[in-house]
Chain A
Amino acid sequence: MANERIIKELMNPNDLDSFSSINQENTWLNGYNKESYLKLLERPIPSNKNEEWRYTKISEAVNQFFLKAKENKTLPYEFNDDESIDDDIRIYFYNGTYCHQGELPSYINTLKISQDHPYFESKIYDGNKSNDSLINDLNTVLLTDMLSIETKSNQKIDKMIRIINLSHKDSALCPRISVKLAKNSSIKIFEHHQSSESSVLNTNIDIHLEENSTLDYFRLIEKQIQSHDLSSQKINIGENSRVNLFCLDSGADTSRSNIDVELDGDNSAITINALFTPSEALHSGNQLKINHNAKGTKSSLDFRGILDDSSAGVFFGKVKVHKNSSQTTANMSNQNLLLSDYAKISTKPILEIYNDDVECSHSATSGNLDDEKIFYIKSRGIDEESAKKFLVQSFAAKIINKITHVNMRETFNNHLLKSLKIN
């Protein structure tokens, strides 16, 4: 589009120079910061006429990102003793740095602590190469630390790894996570974004599975106040490996999650079960691109939106089955419950199939609470507010009940109840 504006035009010329000084003490990383910065300035601003960016106020998010980035202050995180209540491994992200208590197991490393710069440089380089996007550029501009989780062959880790983005105020933050599973390994990760205020969070996650591995990844985004929460997840899955992803997003001024999945190995599989529950004037945007690149691959996407007040939700899902990917199974569903006359949803499930030997389905529905169901519940003595709560919960239960991990199911359910105003 000839008349498309670019990011540079959004910005105050006085702000342009303030980013060259990030990571001055770390010259190799600073090189990546600068390179992404220059690339970013020339990027076009996606218009909201563009289907993929509908309702997503991206220019506002970018603007805020640069404003907040200038204000970023560095404060160390103070640990409380009562935080280790269970066996889980906890890693905190605070002001651009990953922190933890005690020693990390050998399969977890952070850039700041590690002396192995080539290891992290190669991860950043590979990540940037495979993910040429606005969100990735934004992430790299402010990149100062990085978390890497990498298993060895046959390593099965039972402990939950919790990555907690702590509450921030007036900050621009760019968490970056790399997850790599070697053959026959398994791991469980819980990424939790606490509620921030007047901040911009821009998360970049690279996930790579070799053969016969399993990753359970739980993602919980609490309600972000006057904030933007952008994230990009690139997932490559090798032969006979599987990723199970659960997401709960309570919305932000702009909440945008881009998930790109490459089912590269034969019989590789992904399951994504997600709830998005924006209220007030918040937004939750979900973009999925799934590529079936090999035989016998499976994808199952189940997204449920619960939208209240004047919130807006977006589901954009594109599943592509390539020519040689025979015996593929792909199911995609997006169901939405609108709790208010002012809530909006835009949904677009797309299947692109270039192979005959496949089993694919896609569906999208949107509706209000069913009056007959409300009447039925009330006729048993239960008041209207509780009746509605039961119905919303029962709508969400279809997703929540798929979480087999008991602690996680409870955690997600509690946050769901907290995020629903009718609680």
Chain B
Amino acid sequence: MSTKKTLLSIENLDASIGDKNIIKNLNLKIHYGETHAIMGPNGSGKSTLAKALAGHPDCKITKGTIHFKNIDLLTLPVEERSNEGLFLGFQYPIEIPGLSNSVFLKAAINAKNKYQKLNDVSATDFIKELKQKADMMGINQSFLSRGVNEGYSGGEKKRNEILQMLMLKPTLSVLDETDSGLDIDSMKIVSKGINSMLGEDTSSIVITHYERLLQYIKPDVVHVFHNGRIIKSGDYMLARELEEKGYEWLTNE
């Protein structure tokens, strides 16, 4: 284990939204190839962590550091974090009527290519890959020319997040409650998408309330979040224990 390279390192992090300090002295290290699940009751700061990583303007870092690929992440603007290989799967994906999915995704891929000093993606390669991955995510081809998330059901929005992730091929995916509001079939499809991304060079943080998703995506580490920090870490069995007992036995300690 000790030879593994570190992808993400969070040290002594405090983050607030508005006047409220939400993340309190958080420490977390993620190596290449690892999947970490973050569980915890509502209001424990899980989504704030996702926002802090992606650089949401409402989220202010008041203390500590985040290093991603040994780069000081906090100095990077939102778009550069993405271009460096960080992906945030939104808990509530945003609808952008009038901006088509394929135009949006192509612009995103080309922005990343430009950042990495690569050429624009070829139109045919792009559309071929997009169609193939849309199929995998059970997204109808007609959706690709429709507005981003425009009029999508909750499940369709979440599958579209995973489609974006598959197209952008991030090094670290932070998936914020991607499983909430999904039926069993959608959950299987979403898990398939997430699993297809996992490898030696990629990692993910899966934020969830339920152990069910974790049955499909076997996490290497499970953390329990409470009051803005990790109060317990363990393996997959910890998630099963939480499913049975709830959080109280931990939060009351």
Contacts and interface: CB of A to CB of B under 8 A. Distances in A.
Size bin of chain A's contact surface: 20 to 34
A378 interface: yes
Interface in B113-131: 115
Contact of A379 (B82, B96, B98, B99): B82
B57 A381 contact: no
Given A383-B79, A383-B111, A377 B164 contact: no
Interface in B80-104: 81-83, 88, 90, 93-94, 96-99, 104
Interface in B18-43: none
B193 interface: no
B166 interface: no
Contact of A381 (B96, B98, B99, B108): B108
B112 interface: yes
Most buried by A among B108, B112, B147: B108
Interface residues of B, number: 28
B56 interface: yes
A129 interface: no
A373 B104 contact: no
Contacts of A119: none
Contacts, number: 73
9 contacts: A376-B94, A379-B79, A379-B88, A380-B111, A380-B164, A381-B82, A382-B107, A398-B98, A401-B98
A420 to B, nearest CB: 14
A390 B96 contact: yes
A398 B97 CA distance: 8
Interface string A334-365: 00000000000000000000000000000000
A371 interface: yes
Contacts of B96: 373, 376-377, 390-391, 394
A377 B98 contact: no
Interface string B37-65: 00000000000000000111100000000
Interface of A: 371-373, 375-384, 386, 390-391, 393-398, 401
A394 B108 contact: no
Nearest to B114: A381
B8 interface: no
Contacts of B107: 382, 386, 390
A380 B173 CA distance: 12
Nearest to B93: A376
Given A375-B78, A376-B90, A378-B78, A393 B98 contact: yes
Given A372-B94, A375-B56, 16 more contacts: A373-B94, A375-B54, A376-B94, A376-B96, A377-B96, A379-B79, A380-B82, A380-B164, A381-B112, A394-B96, A394-B98, A394-B147, A395-B98, A397-B98, A398-B98, A401-B98
Contacts of A386: 107, 111
A377 B82 contact: no
A381 B168 contact: yes
A380 B164 CA distance: 8
The 7 closest A-B pairs by CB, nearest first: A394-B98, A397-B98, A381-B82, A380-B108, A376-B94, A394-B99, A378-B78
A82 B83 CA distance: 45
A164 B57 CA distance: 47
Most buried by B among A373, A386, A394, A395: A394
Nearest to A401: B98
Nearest to A399: B98
Contacts of B104: 377, 380, 390
Most buried by A among B56, B93, B164: B56
A381 B111 contact: yes
B78 A379 contact: yes
A378 B147 contact: no
A395 B99 CA distance: 9
A384 B78 CA distance: 9
Nearest to A398: B98
Contacts of A397: 97-99
A379 B111 CA distance: 11
